[in-house]
Structure 1
Amino acid sequence: MKTNPMTPQRFFRQRRLRLSVVLLILIGIYVLSMALVNFQAWDSISKIPAGLIWLFTNFIPTSRSISYLGPILYQLWRTLLVAISSTMVASLFALIFAILGAKTTAPTPVLRWVIRFGASLLRNIPVVAWAMILLFSFKQSDFTGFLALFFMTLGYLTRAFTETIEDLDAEKLQALQAVGANYFQCVFCGVLPEAASTLTSWILYMIENNLRDATLVGLLTGTGVGFLFDYYFKAFRYDAAGLIVLLIAILVIILELTSNRIRRAIA
């Protein structure tokens, strides 16, 4: 019995039909959601130009903003240190957990599933939620912000490191085991050298990400440049608040450029 082959025209027609159906479903969900929450989309869109005009009128740093530069740079430096320290400590623990939780290096299946579950739990709790939870125990301090970033980063990097290790060529580990290498020799001679470049890239990425998150956490913990932004904003010193946003953007760009150079150097 002959079957009609799938012609290119029929293939693309079916793809367009599926895409149209998915698009209609998404539009229907959007319209239904707006109706349920009584969201006036067009009214909000019409206010965007006025909002942008107010933003660029009030948040532009002026000559008066220079007088706030000293405290801003000091708090920005503290925020950067919290972001870097929390990332580095979390990456150390994440590497240990990833080695114990990856399929190719896990000592037991039970330990692997426990580590995977713990990592998923940690990374699926937003950093703001971590800050609010820890705020009751550790009050407003840099240590509270450090812990909030640490727990979120630990879950995220454990998952990323685990997948990186599992993507390595398993034949190299089998070859080391065949010549009599023990567990630690397989890890330190077979896994870490191969994964070092990718692991470093993940750590650099999390430092950039944690700098942005540390600013938000500072709003809750009353520390760092986030607290200073909140203070200036509530005091109607919008030019100083705009200077903070500008300096954060510059610092993030510098970190990204530095990270890219490090990645190219170790690639």
Structure 2
Amino acid sequence: MTTLERQLHAAPRHHRYVLTVTFIVMILFTWSVTAISFKSVDETGLKIASNIFKGLLNPDLNLLFNFSTQSVPYLLVETVAIAFLGTIVGAILAIPLAFLAATNIVPRPVSWVTRLLLIFIRTIPALVYGLMFIRVTGPGPFAGVLTIGISSIGMLSKLYVDSIEEIDTKVLESMTSIGCTTFEKIRYGIIPQLLSIFMSIMIYRFDMNMRDASVLGLVGAGGIGAPLIFAMRGYKWDQVGSILIGLVILILIIELVSNKLRSKLVKG
């Protein structure tokens, strides 16, 4: 018997713990299943489901390959623009908040107040921000950009703070000892350590914002969400199929590009 096998056999057994957790999970699963009801599923519902499936298999090609202001390509470009600009706005606003929330940069009272503010920002869903900004700016892409920007601040700031608190402070102490100014310490001591990490976080958030921007159109904040919900309400499943196909292709492309960029930034 090898050393690894002896260690495996000598490891303590947690049968009671495993059985208890399994029992609790089974109870929760059984309780959840009882909430499922098939009473509302009738012939009409099955027919609608069949029409949805047919629409996905037979999309409206004219809508998919046309380049008018109501076509899928134009709306996808608008959605990308909303997500991109919103990410830039959120990333810029998150930087000073992140430094104010970092315990190794500012006093703890200032840090805790800023963290409470960031928690409050993260608590409000993006759709609520969208409804608020639509009242202020009116329906359209601008409301979507502001919504994406504000809703991005919470997550970006939190990830920025984690990066800031992990920087090598010995570099800053060395720069202080040779008489560097605050600007020089930020320019040559902090930014080089954080730039690639911040860029990687921004790309990750942009990937998430693409999905949020697609949904914001449901409340009138621009993008492809509004045509999607209108097509669904009008039972135009071929148009729904075209929009969903365009969204899937776009998300896949952005996923591949963002993963490559982030891997290069991490390696660099």
What TM-score do the two structures reach when normalised by structure 1?
Answer: 0.82
User: How far did residue 26 of structure 1 move?
Assistant: 3.1
Please tell me whether the aligned partners of residues 65 and 240 of structure 1 are also in contact (alpha carbons under 8 angstroms).
yes
| Map 1:1-267 → 2, pairs under 5 A | 9=9, 11-14=11-14, 16-32=15-31, 38-40=35-37, 55-60=52-57, 61-63=59-61, 65-66=63-64, 70=68, 71-106=71-106, 108-221=107-220, 223-266=222-265, 267=268
Distance (whole Å) between structure 2 residues aligned to residue 20 and residue 178 of structure 1: 60
Question: What is the CA distance between 1:175 and its match in structure 2?
Answer: 2.4
State the distance in 1 between where 2:251 and 2:202 align.
15
Equivalent-residue separation in structure 2 for 1:237 and 1:194 (angstroms):
52
Q: Among the aligned pairs, what percent are the same residue?
A: 23
SS at match of 2:104: coil
SS in 1 for 2:193: helix
Of 83-92 and 70-79, deviating more is 70-79
Contact 1:72/1:228, CA 8 A, preserved across alignment: no
Aligned length: 254
Which amino acid letter does the alignment assign opposite residue 115 of structure 1? T
Shift of 1:136: 3.3
Contact 2:60/2:238 (<8 A) preserved: yes
Shift of 1:169: 2.3
CA–CA separation in structure 1 for the residues paired with 2:37 and 2:12? 37
Q: What one-letter code is carried by the residue in structure 2 that aligns with 1:56?
A: F
Contact 2:130–2:221 under 8 Å retained in 1: no
What amino acid is aligned across from residue 56 of structure 2 in structure 1? F
Deviation at 1:239, TM superposition (A): 1.5
| 1:11 positional shift | 4.0
Letter aligned with residue 144 of structure 1: A
What do you get for the CA RMSD once the two structures are aligned?
2.9
Deviation at 1:118, TM superposition (A): 1.2
**C-alpha displacement at 1:176, in angstroms?**
2.3
Structure-1 separation of matches of 2:17 and 2:168? 38
Q: 1:78 Cα deviation (Å)?
A: 1.2
Q: Give the ranges of 4+ consecutive aligned residues of structure 1 lying more than 6 Å apart after TM superposition.
A: 41-44, 49-52
Unaligned runs of 5+ in 1: 1-6
Query: Would the alpha carbon gap of residues 66 and 185 (structure 1) be closer, same or farther in structure 2, given more than 3 Å must change?
Result: closer
In the aligned structure 2, how far is the partner of 1:185 from the partner of 1:243?
53
Q: How far apart, CA to CA, are the structure 2 residues paired with 1:41 and 1:176?
A: 69
Measure the CA separation in 1 of the matches of 2:84 and 2:245. 20
Q: CA 1:137 to 1:234, structure 2 compared with 1: closer, same or farther past 3 Å? A: same
231 and 51 in structure 1: CA distance in 2 versus 1, 3 angstrom threshold: closer
Q: Which has a greater percent of helix?
A: 1
